[in-house]
Amino acid sequence: MSLDLDARQRAMLEEMHVHVWWPESGEGAVSAAAPVAAPGPVRAAPKNIAEAMAAAPELAAAHASTPPATTIVARASAGDIEGMDWPALQQAVAGCVACALSKSRKNTVFGVGPAAPADGRPPQADWLIIGEAPGENEDIQGEPFVGQAGKLLDNMLKAIGVSRHGAEDGQPHKAACIVNVLKCRPPGNRNPAPEEVAQCAPYLRRQVELLQPKVIIAMGRFAVQSLLQDTVPDVVATPLGRLRGKVHQYHGVPVVVTYHPAYLLRSLPEKAKAWADLCLAMDVWKKRKAAETAQLAVQAEIG
């Protein structure tokens, strides 16, 4: 695919050590998308345990008696989560005490993206970026990818006109929501435990169902394994590199696999591969956007 990038975006890619051929213009050029929902954080609901407890005394009682380790204490059932709208899902995550991570976290990290409308619908975002779990800074700020890896991620997304804030610098951007597999920080940034991933999975699934993104980018092996465990045989044993370069599916949404930005910070040569992954995701987005536009045109004609 080709991208029609401005000087600022090209500079960003240079900074990322990504060298690509720049078309002057052309059919494949990415057109400026209409501005999406007004910028602002997704999180309007209580985001830390104290806020959630104040709103729900029964959760406070459950949390106070949470035993150590990963014993399950309280979480809405998967069935309940399936029926939640966006604000209810935010509340459920904010008050979740399903595993021991609720004891050590400072904040839950639900996700970030353009502002959700006030009527319970999710934010409008065609792109969903999925990482692993909050780190120290994310735990403190309650927002995903706010550290060095987040800066790299934002720069890479900006280079293709995508942003967690919708419109920035007067430039039209395609809106992205950014979430993690785990909504709470594993202490010491250790890897997520399988039972923690399992406890959080219904939240992630509901986020996808509600957002209905046109494309998902799964970053790193935990996101990839969580999303593709039902569709890719032996995904745990499959090297991430072998899953790149093709379009997978998660509940009807196309998934593109790429490296985690924290890995890219340590491994400069892989940045060019990550850029290829973003280009593949952009191809997917463009096709789905075109199909949607055509369908809307037909509907308008039918009346």
- Of the candidates 58, 145, 67, 56, the one whose C-alpha atom is nearest the C-alpha of residue 100 is 67
Q: Which of 92, 115, 133, 278 binds ligand URA (CB under 6 A)?
A: 133
Which residue, 228 or 262, has its beta carbon nearer to ligand URA?
262
The number of residues that bind ligand URA (CB under 6 A) is: 11
The distance of closest approach from Cβ of residue 131 to ligand URA in the complex, given in angstroms and rounded to an integer, is 3
Residue 277 is a binding residue for ligand URA (CB under 6 A): no
Which residue, 9 or 145, has its beta carbon nearer to ligand URA?
145
**Distance separating the N- and C-terminal Cα atoms of the chain:** 35
Structure tokens at 264: 């890219």
Which residue, 5 or 16, has its beta carbon nearer to ligand URA?
16
Residue 180 is a binding residue for ligand URA (CB under 6 A): yes
CA distance 245 to 139: 32
Q: Which of 138, 154, 196, 277 binds ligand URA (CB under 6 A)?
A: 138
Q: 179-205 in b/e burial notation, b at 16+ Cβ within 10 A? A: bbbbbbbbeeeeebbeebbebbbbbbb
Q: Which stretch binds ligand URA (CB under 6 A): 42-50, 112-120, 142-150, 202-210?
A: 142-150
Residue 90 is a binding residue for ligand URA (CB under 6 A): no
Which residue, 62 or 184, has its beta carbon nearer to ligand URA?
184
The distance of closest approach from Cβ of residue 254 to ligand URA in the complex, given in angstroms and rounded to an integer, is 21
CA distance 145 to 130: 10
The distance of closest approach from Cβ of residue 135 to ligand URA in the complex, given in angstroms and rounded to an integer, is 4
The distance of closest approach from Cβ of residue 80 to ligand URA in the complex, given in angstroms and rounded to an integer, is 26
Q: Which stretch binds ligand URA (CB under 6 A): 2-10, 28-36, 137-145, 286-294?
A: 137-145
CA distance 88 to 94: 10
Residue 144 is a binding residue for ligand URA (CB under 6 A): yes
Residue 139 is a binding residue for ligand URA (CB under 6 A): no
Q: Which stretch binds ligand URA (CB under 6 A): 1-9, 54-62, 125-133, 243-251?
A: 125-133
Q: Which of 42, 59, 132, 228 binds ligand URA (CB under 6 A)?
A: 132
Q: Which of 18, 101, 149, 232 binds ligand URA (CB under 6 A)?
A: 149
The distance of closest approach from Cβ of residue 31 to ligand URA in the complex, given in angstroms and rounded to an integer, is 30
Residue with tokens 């399903």: 98
Strand partners, 215: 127
Which residue, 53 or 256, has its beta carbon nearer to ligand URA?
256
Spatial contact of 230 and 220, defined as CB atoms under 8 Å apart: no
Binding site for ligand URA (CB under 6 A): 131-135, 138, 144-145, 149, 180, 262
